[in-house]
Structure 1
């Protein structure tokens, strides 16, 4: 499997020539939100708080995109730049990004449902066999989930490469800066979704296992961690490790597991809300683009 470098930044250098003014409030808002998200790429760890912050930042960014797409001058610029290839690529990538969001939502939902089953066994004080069965089910689910995420990460890497290539071609053909504007939003969205998938996947929990060697490399590129305590926090990893210890009859505590599962459940809830909001905004912006191109 191809190694995916998570620290790769897609810098498309947005130019605002076609926008109402380089000092237009919406342009400034977009650039501020974009810069904050890009800055976090090099300084944030893949923790629940950093991922949630990225999801919130993406919501603000795509709100700016929505308002910009409502400006008559931008609609006109997009309509005039109706190159069929550009449009098809743009709309196809929007579907692919929505597919990545769907993968993340499915993984979060399945994890939450499996956790509820484990919690139910503990609450009714089920016997060791019942607990082991549910625990094995959960770990099997996680294994299957990681296969799905690996595929999604490979697709995401391909999309990043496509964006870089298409950006170079568009510059050669002097395409409208509004297309570069939209691609900046696409690029940072892919980076933020990549962080989300890596957090759910948790490669560092298996970095010593040769089966995970390719994926463990995902986390190896140079990245500065601001908060070492935060960098060690992964709610998925904690539940996986504690549950594995209990099933293997190694010293551990069901109280620790209950606490870890409660933390994971709250984490999943926050992530689900964030991904759902992002999905809705992406769909809304896709509809706006379709309306512009079809007029």
Structure 2
């Protein structure tokens, strides 16, 4: 389990209320990284709220006076990379959601006499391979986000914000990418056989759906698809995308504020 440093005294005791609020939001979000009960969507909502505070924080004159041009340039570069990561996350979600909807449509047609859904399942699995390649590339690029040098409390706070953002996106992309477990392990899960608690806890909605659809192809079974799993995953993807859409707007707004600081 990763160990996170939570800044407890980033600012003097008489700091601005916005700074205090930002510190509290950051501590709450970082502590949730290790909480098993904290859902991914909750973390993304927390990140969205965090950036609302960041934008207000950056607009405080006292903070703008402490930002150096060379430092702002580095933060701007990092913010652009984070925007790209957010956009990629939304893209892979959209691709996966579209293929799930195709399968659900095929399953509805089955009741009218069309029994074969192999083509839709094959397209879904192809998309999943493409998505996993995109995620692997994105995770690699995330390591290239320049770290902020901590020279004063403002730098330290925004360094924590950037690191927390990267950690949250890593969690999101790893979730979308799914487990790297073998098909045999997945088959055990789908068939309802006993699995270790540790293994069961690591299975995401994507894992369960991938396993089910892989069996459709490998075992030529047409009645194995549990539509409730597809409905649940589609609903989850919709919820995540709505939060990401708001987060993307907040990231754009924060970048605009940084550009304004830099130009002045």
TM-score strictly above 0.5: yes
Contact 1:205 1:237 in 2 (8 A): no
Segments of 5+ residues of structure 2 without an aligned counterpart are: 186-196
Decide which of 11, 16, 40 is 1:16's aligned counterpart.
11
Higher mean displacement: 179-188 or 101-110: 179-188
Instruction: Measure, in 2, the Cα distance between the counterparts of 1:189 and 1:206.
Output: 30
Residues 151-206 of structure 1, C-alpha deviations (whole Å, 9 max, x = no match): 111111333xx42xx42xx4xxxx34322222211110110111100110112544
Segments of 5+ residues of structure 1 without an aligned counterpart are: 1-5, 210-226
**What is aligned with 2:137?**
151
Question: 1:248 aligns to what SS in structure 2?
Answer: helix
The structural deviation recorded for 1:15 is 2.9
Instruction: Measure, in 2, the Cα distance between the counterparts of 1:67 and 1:182.
Output: 13
Cα 1:176–1:189, aligned 2, differ >3 Å: closer, same or farther? same
**What is aligned with 2:91?**
106
Contact 1:75 1:292 in 2 (8 A): yes
Question: 2:26 aligns to what SS in structure 1?
Answer: helix
Instruction: Measure, in 2, the Cα distance between the counterparts of 1:186 and 1:56.
Output: 16
Give the structure-1-normalised TM-score. Answer: 0.76
Contact 1:10 1:187 in 2 (8 A): no
**Alignment map for 1:130-279 (pairs within 5 Å):** 131-159=117-145, 162-163=146-147, 166-167=148-149, 170=150, 175-206=151-182, 231-232=201-202, 234-249=204-219, 253-254=223-224, 256=226, 258-279=227-248
Cα 1:207–1:122, aligned 2, differ >3 Å: closer, same or farther? closer
The structural deviation recorded for 1:42 is 2.4
Instruction: Measure, in 1, the Cα distance between the counterparts of 2:201 and 2:95.
Output: 25
- If asked which structure has higher relative contact order (CA below 8 Å, sep 6+), I would say 1
Contact 1:105 1:275 in 2 (8 A): yes
Residues 269-288 of structure 1, C-alpha deviations (whole Å, 9 max, x = no match): 01101111111101100000
Structure with greater proportional helix content:
1
Contact 2:213 2:225 in 1 (8 A): no
Decide which of 54, 75, 86 is 1:90's aligned counterpart.
75
The structural deviation recorded for 1:250 is 6.2
Superposition CA RMSD, Å: 2.8
Cα 1:25–1:207, aligned 2, differ >3 Å: closer, same or farther? farther
**What is aligned with 1:219?**
none
Contact 1:199 1:234 in 2 (8 A): yes
